[in-house]
Amino acid sequence: MFDQLSDRLQATLSDVRSRGKLSEGDVDAAMREIRLTLLEADVNFKVVKTFTKTLKERCLGAEVLESLDPGQQVVKIVNEELTGLMGGTGRDLAFASGGPTVILMAGLQGSGKTTACAKLARHLGQSGKNVALAACDVYRPAAVDQLVTVGKRAGAAVYEQGTDADPVEIAAWALDRAREENRDVLIVDTAGRLHIDSDLMDELAKIRKRTKPHDVLLVVDAMTGQDAVGVAESFAEAAEFDGVVMTKLDGDARGGAALSVKAVTGKPILFASTGEKLEAFDRFHPDRMASRILGMGDMLSLIEKAEQQVDERQAEDLQKKLESDRFTLEDFLQQMKQVRKMGPLSGLIGMLPGMGAMKQLKNADVDEGELDRVEAIILSMTPLERANPAIIKGSRRKRIAHGSGTKIQQVNQLVKQFDQMRKMMRMMVSGEQPSPQQIAQMAGGAGAAPRPKYRRR
Amino acid sequence: MPTTWQEIFDLGARDATTPEAEPESEERRRGVFSRLRESLSKSRQALTEEISASLFDRIDEETWERLEEALILADAGAPTTAEVVERLEREVESGAVSADGEAVRERLIEILAEVASGGRGPIDLSGEPAVLLMVGVNGTGKTTTIGKIAWHLSKEFGLSVVLAAGDTYRAAAAEQLAEWAQRAGAELVRSKEGGDPGAVAFDAVAAARARGADVVIVDTAGRLHTQGNLMDELTKVRRVIAKQMPDAPHETLISIDATTGQNGLRQAKIFSEAVEVDGVVLTKLDGTAKGGIVLAIANELGIPVKLIGTGESLEDLRPFDPADFARALLAE
């Protein structure tokens, strides 16, 4: 995640500025870095080759702009080309004008089909659709049970006939039932299958014929390597899929498979599945994926995540408090809880671009235990103490340490760091830029012990 | 180098001489590997066609480039690929290996096998009971692998096996394991969905000790290595097991899906930091994916592959044979 292409390109092209133009040698050197970055992200070798060829032509002779350094400029071109290749803004599902819309889900074993079915059901249910699921995976032990359970959680009806019936017949029967029960959408879950298993691929083609799906979605694991191309090509042939659901995007895989699949089949990625919970499912954003493949962080996703979690009124409130310098430990506690709702902090840091420049944060391994301790300390304070930490002395300190199971020094440290933080926030609000050292201090300083742990690479 | 079931399991002092425990006949082994080769043959085409047919006819710059390409396409990753190719190139240039197509090809297979076998040993089942912990990312085939290992231990070695349904998160995961337990004739210890996986593991080990069972295999919920809290939970499961039996778990295996790309390296590294992984089970090798990521895992982390999964049926789990793996990667 932190292997920033921009860092590397900046190093490679550091002496270009003085010469004004990118020479062929510069471009070749840059292409080597880009090639490596893409391969590390699991973009298929052949796709990389074609891509870097196009890219080279665009970079050759490109004017070096005053405003950007040559490395950044190449990154910009790469990002643009990559976003273009990933396919604009993506498309929507095709819905039937009357009768149930049928969505057929297919993919390799373990790619996350069953979970994706339930997530999609929930997603469509949220927009007012009446959704049913058809359990056609009769091979994997307990797959039907799994769909029944997650389907229920997603608020969708599950049509199942156990594991003795033929999947093609189950699918046809489920479609009839969906019609009878006036469902808006029928999502057909199928067994995971290998793209070279001709019997099972035939079965998939048969299900497709019988149910005439409006959309066939291929479920692809974001961690897939070079083989993504072969898989996508085979499924394109047998199932003629219309779009892709990328799963397990909450991991740290750079997800080059998304690019490979799009490049060889031309089919868009429609949805991104990003976590264990059913609601961790969303429209796919090609531009964000491009940045992710390049290891350039995912600022947009972070902003959106924050927007979902932070109540707007609370945000306004906070802004006012910061401006008038009334930010208290109580507010700090609430803020911390908000931020932690977004997920582990180390994950959030990874989404921020520009971390390459800030070495202290780059490898910082946020200790969630420290944050628990900070919470405990604040929770052991009285409202008065939270509003006015300056009064925390002697016996109060002792009581708080005792109450939170921490040491007096840790309470001290927290109060001191809170004070520093408040000063810095005041600076930010008033438009001054804090130095990276100050930011790092604050990041480490959120915990009782201000020492970021360094993870060896 | 353990390449048969008898060799891959270190059963310690346990008497497991069952009728089936006699060394596998060469014929049967051959049969199995020709099957493996067959099931992998398609995957090999890209690599083999390029490599065996013309690659080593003339040894020049292009040879190394195409070899690099082939290894990258097998998911071996840029650093390991570069290392292997450089080493071979150096040996040919220095004359240590003659610049003859066949000799270079054989040497390449040797090098690949050597990389893949880094620090390997048998699966330690000498404990009484022996506790085996299975971990990995979602959908990599943990439960299926456990089912198959249990079946081998129970049916071929006549050992009594207890399975712990430690995946209390995924809906119906315990049912899936229950089916395997039934097929293998193993006992299942489980709790209700959402129960504490540590408690399940603890109870299973306790049950196995009380009944004098030979092996306990602990299943765990699939989890992404990036989910810190879930990784902590895994560490806790391990700690809880050790509370019941101080030196347990005796063996911790991670399942890696052969289709996995470079992220497999991160998976192995971070799981290993959480629970000290002893070996890899490379699953789903029956597709077109070549599973080259295990070369990177062995090379960079020193964690060897111990078992490979090549399909759904029971006999499709095999001890990993690095030489054969490398050869199969490059064979005609």
**pLDDT for position B20:** 47
- Last residue of one domain, picked from the residues A52, A86, A120: A86
- Judge if A194 and A113 occupy the same domain: yes
Report the percent of chain A where pLDDT is more than 70: 75
**Does A246 fall in a domain?**
yes
**Does A91 fall in a domain?**
no
**pLDDT for position A328:** 83
Q: Which of A40, A142, A252 sits opposite B226 (nearest CB)?
A: A252
* CA angle B137–B141–B144, rounded 5-degree value: 145
**pLDDT for position B16:** 58
- Taking the CA of residue B183 and the nearest CA in chain A, the distance in Å comes to 11
| A80-92: average pLDDT | 75
Looking only at the bridges linking them, the beta strands covering A215-221 and A243-247 are parallel
More confident residue, A69 or B277: B277
- Most confident of the ranges A218-232, A359-373, A429-443, B312-326: A218-232
pLDDT surpassing 70 at residue A381: yes
- Judge if A243 and A323 occupy the same domain: no
Q: What is the CATH number of the domain that holds A215?
A: 3.40.50.300
Residue to substitute from A119, A223, A372, A453, interface B, most B β-carbons within 10 A = A223
**pLDDT for position A300:** 47
Q: What is the CATH number of the domain that holds A314?
A: 1.10.260.30
More confident residue, A453 or A341: A341
Q: For all residues of chain A together, what is the average pLDDT?
A: 80
Report the percent of chain A where pLDDT is more than 90: 35
- Last residue of one domain, picked from the residues A227, A259, A292: A292
**Does A270 fall in a domain?**
yes
pLDDT surpassing 90 at residue A423: no
Query: Minimum mean pLDDT among B76-85, B115-124, B260-269, B277-286: which range?
Result: B115-124
**CA–CA separation, B132 vs B83, rounded Å?**
33
More confident residue, B56 or A128: A128
Q: Which of A140, A226, A252 sits opposite B266 (nearest CB)?
A: A252
**pLDDT for position B242:** 95
In chain A, positions 390-449, which contact chain B (CB-CB < 8 Å)? none
More confident residue, A92 or B139: B139
**pLDDT for position A308:** 56
**CA–CA separation, A115 vs B224, rounded Å?**
15
- Using a CB–CB cutoff of 8 Å, tell me whether B93 touches chain A: no
**pLDDT for position B328:** 66
Number of domains in chain A: 3
Residue to substitute from B233, B262, B273, interface A, most A β-carbons within 10 A = B262
Q: In A90-130, at which residue ranges do the beta strands (DSSP E only) sit?
A: 101-107
Q: Which of B69, B138, B262 sits opposite A248 (nearest CB)?
A: B138
Return the residue matching tokens 């339930």. A118
Return the residue matching tokens 């408040």. A422
**pLDDT for position A426:** 72
**pLDDT for position A356:** 42
**CA–CA separation, B77 vs A410, rounded Å?**
45
- Judge if A281 and A307 occupy the same domain: no
Query: How is residue A163 annotated by DSSP?
Result: B
- Judge if A224 and A333 occupy the same domain: no
- Judge if A107 and A69 occupy the same domain: no
- Using a CB–CB cutoff of 8 Å, tell me whether B264 touches chain A: yes
- Judge if A212 and A350 occupy the same domain: no
- Judge if A190 and A252 occupy the same domain: yes
Confidence of residue A119 (pLDDT cuts 50, 70, 90): very high
**CA–CA separation, B212 vs B204, rounded Å?**
12
**CA–CA separation, B155 vs B140, rounded Å?**
24
Closest CA to B233 of A246, A368, A21: A368
**Does A407 fall in a domain?**
yes
- Judge if A82 and A105 occupy the same domain: no
Interface touch A227/B288, C-beta < 8 Å: yes
- Last residue of one domain, picked from the residues A239, A262, A292: A292
More confident residue, A255 or B17: A255
**CA–CA separation, A22 vs B115, rounded Å?**
40
| A101-120: average pLDDT | 94
**Does A237 fall in a domain?**
yes
* CA angle B32–B35–B40, rounded 5-degree value: 130
| A418-425: average pLDDT | 78
Report the percent of chain B where pLDDT is more than 90: 53
Contacts of B289 in chain A (CB under 8 A): 225-227
Q: What is the CATH number of the domain that holds A44?
A: 1.20.120.140
**CA–CA separation, A357 vs A439, rounded Å?**
13
pLDDT surpassing 70 at residue A256: yes
Q: A230 Cβ partners below 8 Å, 6+ apart?
A: A195, B288
For residue A101, which phi and psi values (nearest 5 degrees)? -80, 130
**pLDDT for position A132:** 97
Q: For all residues of chain B together, what is the average pLDDT?
A: 84
- Please say whether the beta carbons of B317 and B152 come within 8 A: yes
**pLDDT for position B281:** 96
- Judge if A166 and A282 occupy the same domain: yes
- Most confident of the ranges A199-213, A362-376, B304-318: A199-213
- Sign (positive or negative) of CA dihedral A188, A193, A196, A198: negative
**Does A297 fall in a domain?**
no
Sheet holding B215-220, edge to edge: B187-189, B161-166, B215-220, B130-136, B251-257, B279-283, B305-309, B317-319
My answer on whether omega of the bond before B249 falls inside 30° of 0, hence cis, is yes
Query: Minimum mean pLDDT among A41-55, A231-245, A336-350, A396-410: which range?
Result: A336-350
Q: How far is CA B216 from the centre of its chain?
A: 18
| B107-130: average pLDDT | 87
| Residue A260, phi-psi category: left (phi > 0), alpha (psi -120 to 50), beta (remainder) | alpha
Confidence of residue B325 (pLDDT cuts 50, 70, 90): confident
Domain that holds residue A318: 303-454
**pLDDT for position A366:** 61
- Judge if A312 and A355 occupy the same domain: yes
- The domains found in chain B, sorted by start residue, are 26-116 (1.20.120.140), 123-321 (3.40.50.300)
**pLDDT for position A362:** 44
- Please say whether the beta carbons of A104 and A207 come within 8 A: yes
The CA dihedral of A166, A171, A173, A178, to the nearest 10 degrees, is 160
| B16-21: average pLDDT | 49
Confidence of residue A250 (pLDDT cuts 50, 70, 90): confident
- Judge if A312 and A425 occupy the same domain: yes
Q: What is the pLDDT of residues A305-358, one digit of tens each?
A: 555 555 566 667 767 776 677 778 888 887 777 777 666 665 555 555 444 444
Q: Which of B74, B75, B224 sits opposite A250 (nearest CB)?
A: B224
**Does A16 fall in a domain?**
yes
**pLDDT for position B232:** 94
- Please say whether the beta carbons of B180 and B150 come within 8 A: yes
Contacts of B69 in chain A (CB under 8 A): 45
Q: What is the pLDDT of residues A3-14, one digit of tens each?
A: 466 677 767 776
| A125-150: average pLDDT | 92
- Judge if A236 and A345 occupy the same domain: no
Return the residue matching tokens 């054989």. B106
